[in-house]
Amino acid sequence: MKNIFTTCLFLVSFMGFSQEAGRAGELLKNEARTNEKQTQRNDGTGRGGDKVLDNSNYRTPPKSNNPKGNTTNYRWNYNYGNAEVFLRIPQNGYYTVEIGDQVMSNPTGKFRFFDLKFGTVPIAIYENNFLIYRTNLRLKSYTRLVLDFFPDYGMYLLGSYPVQNNAYGINEWDDIWNNPYGNQNSNWNGNSSSGYAYGTMMNTQDFNSFMSSLKKNASFDKDRMGMISMVSQNANFTSQQIYNMLNTMDFDNNKLEIAKLLYTKCVDRQNYHLVFEAFTFDTSKNKLNLLCI
């Protein structure tokens, strides 16, 4: 009885806690020096005619001086990069964000950068054209970094997610930031027209906490199935996470039921072959394979 109460308490707290600055994510160190924060951006023109600064040591200025009608040097299908960064600044204000050679300014606090080069890329944040934060990000191909920045606390890396087949099956853009805090309010079920899924994936920290609770409080498959079913109502999973959950169960029939349930909650179905390794018998694998066709 005590274990059941503890389990319910964990699930309620997991699904219902509110957001708080600095509560989620990995803190990234601010590398901006004090004297840097006392100067305005000084290259180009910002809002209201203020001078602005860019990452001039990182940019490659255009060299083309084509005459009108000469398209010889145009890069119609040039693949500049395929990494992405989504940054949110919840605090009110007018901010400018530079990542590599891309710049974006707005008062909304939502900054979405696409087509970034992979590797070490500088990021700088300005409030009213004054530098307040600077560091470097490690970007990977076909991967999106999701960040929150609080002027009084710093920048937090909330997660790193695969970008698949250029599919953005997201019901509400804010969910990609809110999910690491446990605020999954979307009813999106993981289906997309391309056959792939991308949604509010449970981050590593929350998944590890859930797995610890599952192993501690569920002694039988029936209990494990109940916990997994409950938490899946508010989160999606990777194929590896689904495999790990199935591996805690004893019987193939029960594993098959959960594998069926979680197939529509999988964010990387092209890797669902990993889930098959959790089954003992080929008959179970064949039944699951019929679902995945």
Contact 192, 198 (CB under 8 A): yes
What are the residue ranges spanned by the domains of the chain? Answer: 2-12+202-292, 24-59+79-163
pLDDT of the residue at 195? 36
Helix, strand, coil % in the chain, rounded to nearest 5: 30, 25, 45
Instruction: Say which CATH superfamily domain 24-59+79-163 falls into.
Output: Carboxypeptidase-like, regulatory domain (2.60.40.1120)
- The 8-class DSSP code of residue 231 comes to H
DSSP 234-276: G-BB-HHHHHHHHTT-S-HHHHHHHHHHHHTTBS-GGGTHHHH
Query: What are 117-142's pLDDT values in tens digits?
Result: 888 999 999 998 899 999 999 998 77
What's residue 277's pLDDT?
A: 92
* Residues in the chain where the model's pLDDT stays below 70: 1-19, 22, 38, 42-80, 164-200, 292-293
Per-residue tokens: 19: 């957001």
Say what the pLDDT of residue 162 is.
Answer: 78
- Report the distance separating Cα 31 and Cα 50, nearest Å: 24
pLDDT score of 138: 92
pLDDT in tens, 15-64: 544 567 767 778 888 888 887 776 777 655 444 444 444 454 544 555 55
Calpha distance 273→269 (Å, rounded)? 8
Q: Can you give the pLDDT at residue 235? A: 84
